[in-house]
Structure 1
């Protein structure tokens, strides 16, 4: 089937920063008939869905943005979530992406047609559409995990998941409970503790928390950033270098750089000691796994809430939920009016991929990953999945800022589509041999990481899939990743 008979050149699923990055790059490559399908009612992905109190980036804003589209107007070093949403809107407008976006569209399935060499994308409204290329940009953290404790359906109070926050909800006079102590909970708990009559934090796994060096960016500095973009580039470089040192030395090269990891542990423990008075509470807030097994977080306010008389830490596991509260395994019953679920996301069961994808020879991507090994060549393409780009894939997450990953993938797309044009081809597919080489190299490189060389038992980290493999992060430095995405061997692909 010729391109002129297809509905679109490409369908991109997801209108967050990944989907917008793909849209920008595909337009640079000359594709103008795009459809960006988004299940939510607006763009921005994570930064549209999440708007709980205390929401902010946990990577400095100068780094958490596209390098080619700096924003000189961040109000703080770690910008509040609303500013990220505004930045997403600015990018969509500046790069003229809104006209391709369709909201409230839930993709259920995509299937490759080998005869016509195109994808058919099926949506929940009963429609289908055809496209030469399919891009999934559904995010790493897009499928919320809701725990299924016995008796949850009997709870008579209010239940709020952090991804479905009710703006303006008032905790004054409430007996609140928060289940979960991940990065979201660390931001949210201090906000609830300010208002609630009583707050119980249910912790299954403690998290490493380091001090947050955050401050407002004064207007004169913002003005300099706007007038002399090089100054913001320099700030970005400094921040990226610090993150890179933390990531490469502390996490990826744990075996060779144990002192760096130990230093991070000492910093986190000193932070905890300075902020929490009670020794038993400090002990319960101290992780038993190595720094980096779970994504660590930054906060100056989280630990301090445990000194407040209205806040208690509960580390006994939850046995059941009753209409008026939660019963723990040690027999304690905590009375609750409002239950907040900060229980994170399900990556490996429902998010890789986020909908059914059937490639060549009937390969079901989700089934293939879950029954075999999670894998993707250079973290973006998959054998027997022609003309398919998966932006949230195994081995794709590079560095600590998601924008490093996105921009690396944009480079890969540019090189790939440049070669398609040069050859006059319309289809690409990574070879099995190239995919296996990348998988073996990545798995071997991870042997030095904290995930395998350190002690991650008990971390319950989303970095690990159900096979016990840490296949989320790309085990190379940001610079090496960007270089490889720009120079991978073109004969790793079959073109037709």
Structure 2
């Protein structure tokens, strides 16, 4: 049984949507939103997932060596800490298991529809609801939409001539095919970002030869990745506050680096310089050859790209069957790769560690979204720069909220972002319910105030004061902005999610007033 808001008899009733809330994406963003909806007593929602399983990034990324690069204690929900991580930086398979655990413990399975891909969304301004169309042509309506498709979801293929012509096996790290045997093969890896840093040491022992094609070197810090012994895991399970204390410690360290080093880089440049010195010493210890070491040394500041940690990556290049190739790629042939110096290296397997589409048209948003007056969100962002109030909402798109919108992420842990944005949305939804509103839209002046605040803060970040133009980082969009990171502390983002002024939003009721009516719509497994 669900409650719907309609007009008084003086006017026609508003259409009753299929759901009060549609959540798009069943990664951790969608999972966290679903948990918080149920916690708030809101059960009329569905989570739509285009794939055949939940887990998002940790479902899709199963390449050898995949693991978190933020401490496991921090990289988890604050309300559902896992005492059974095997390592300080858990392998990807444990993150997927954690996602399944959260879904099952909080009873989300009945709310999840798999193999349901949204291909368009349109706001109905007459009925104050969203109409979403799936790839199968089904139309699903809801009062509110929460976009939680994740950030690192759409693999980015390299723009290299002949990449489709290679006759051997081609793998993208985000779509790893475990049926392809690397043992004894000649393997090429294109890309040296955070994924490659994990992958390369993990496959080096198996292959006959390994050529790693580097466009831009990457800063790599030592990784304090220790196994967590059984007695400590028992301590986390049995002693109240033990794991909370560990989480507080790791979160504080992460926050100190991200806030002081990244956000306030201009004011405190020595912190990042100290990290660069640590990375340089790490490289020097592992690579004695000065020529190879020079090739592996970045010419931009630490933090311009995703922070990366490894105890094995640099050392791997000192092995006789592993080659670091820094000559640009001219083309890919049926049998190998030709570099600009004219050399052709024959290979059996081509691995694309070329990352993801992030803030670019066609990926953010993941499908066309039409708001008021026919405005399409992807076009609007592309023309006017990526921006969203508190990383969550955009004027002209009522009842639409994002988990990972522009300038929402503080950089410490994605789970902090999820909890903050879900809290923001729920404050708005509860206020709408309290006032009988069916239309919630951020006011243009509030949206502009937040964007102005971001722009004032940006020049102090590492992105604008550390030669980041040379980094080829996905942090930057075509406008030269860095919309992935909110230039503030996690504490500030947490506080704002609790205290932002509800007057920054316009709450509209149906024109002729409201009355409460009951809908007897029954959907199997949903809304009970």
Matched, 1:228 2:260: no
Partner of 2:300: 289
Partner of 2:342: 331
State the Cα distance separating 1:407 from its structure 2 match: 1.1
Partner of 1:58: 69
* SS state at 1:135 partner: strand
Equivalent in 461, 472, 491 of residue 503 of structure 2: 491
State the Cα distance separating 1:4 from its structure 2 match: 7.6
Please give the alpha-carbon distance, in whole angstroms, between the structure 1 residues aligned to 2:166 and 2:179.
22
Q: 1:212-291, aligned counterparts within 5 Å?
A: 212-291=223-302
Residues 408-427 of structure 1: CA deviation (Å, up to 9, x unaligned): 11221232223223222222
Q: Which runs of 5 or more residues in structure 1 are unaligned?
A: none
Q: Which runs of 5 or more residues in structure 2 are unaligned?
A: 7-13, 509-528
State the Cα distance separating 1:333 from its structure 2 match: 1.4
Equivalent in 30, 43, 48 of residue 19 of structure 1: 30
State the Cα distance separating 1:55 from its structure 2 match: 0.8
Residues 26-53 of structure 1: CA deviation (Å, up to 9, x unaligned): 2233321211111111000000111111
Partner of 1:349: 361
Please give the alpha-carbon distance, in whole angstroms, between the structure 1 residues aligned to 2:207 and 2:300.
31
Residues 66-90 of structure 1: CA deviation (Å, up to 9, x unaligned): 0000111111111111110000001
More deviation in 482-491 or 404-413? 404-413
Partner of 1:470: 482
Q: 1:65-76, aligned counterparts within 5 Å?
A: 65-76=76-87
* SS state at 1:242 partner: helix
* SS state at 1:433 partner: helix
Structure (1 or 2) with the greater helix fraction: 1
Indicate if the aligned counterparts of 1:47 and 1:84 stay in contact, CA closer than 8 A. Answer: yes
* SS state at 1:154 partner: coil
Q: 1:182-201, aligned counterparts within 5 Å?
A: 182-201=193-212
Residues 260-312 of structure 1: CA deviation (Å, up to 9, x unaligned): 01000000101111111211111111110111111120100111100100000
Indicate if the aligned counterparts of 2:404 and 2:417 stay in contact, CA closer than 8 A. Answer: no
Matched, 1:151 2:162: yes
Equivalent in 399, 405, 420 of residue 387 of structure 1: 399
More deviation in 275-284 or 473-482? 275-284
TM-score by length of 2: 0.92
Partner of 1:457: 469
More deviation in 300-309 or 24-33? 24-33
Please give the alpha-carbon distance, in whole angstroms, between the structure 1 residues aligned to 2:34 and 2:165.
45
State the Cα distance separating 1:349 from its structure 2 match: 3.0
* SS state at 1:153 partner: coil
Partner of 1:315: 326
State the Cα distance separating 1:246 from its structure 2 match: 0.9
Please give the alpha-carbon distance, in whole angstroms, between the structure 2 residues aligned to 1:129 and 1:280.
59
Please give the alpha-carbon distance, in whole angstroms, between the structure 1 residues aligned to 2:167 and 2:357.
26
Residues 366-391 of structure 1: CA deviation (Å, up to 9, x unaligned): 00000111100000111011000111
Indicate if the aligned counterparts of 1:6 and 1:130 stay in contact, CA closer than 8 A. Answer: yes
Partner of 1:446: 458
Please give the alpha-carbon distance, in whole angstroms, between the structure 2 residues aligned to 1:95 and 1:426.
28
Larger radius of gyration: 2
Partner of 1:119: 130
Partner of 1:304: 315
State the Cα distance separating 1:468 from its structure 2 match: 0.5
State the Cα distance separating 1:168 from its structure 2 match: 5.2
Residues 102-160 of structure 1: CA deviation (Å, up to 9, x unaligned): 11111100000000110001011111111111111010111110113112222111101
Please give the alpha-carbon distance, in whole angstroms, between the structure 2 residues aligned to 1:80 and 1:392.
23
* SS state at 1:108 partner: strand
Please give the alpha-carbon distance, in whole angstroms, between the structure 2 residues aligned to 1:91 and 1:259.
41
Partner of 2:444: 432
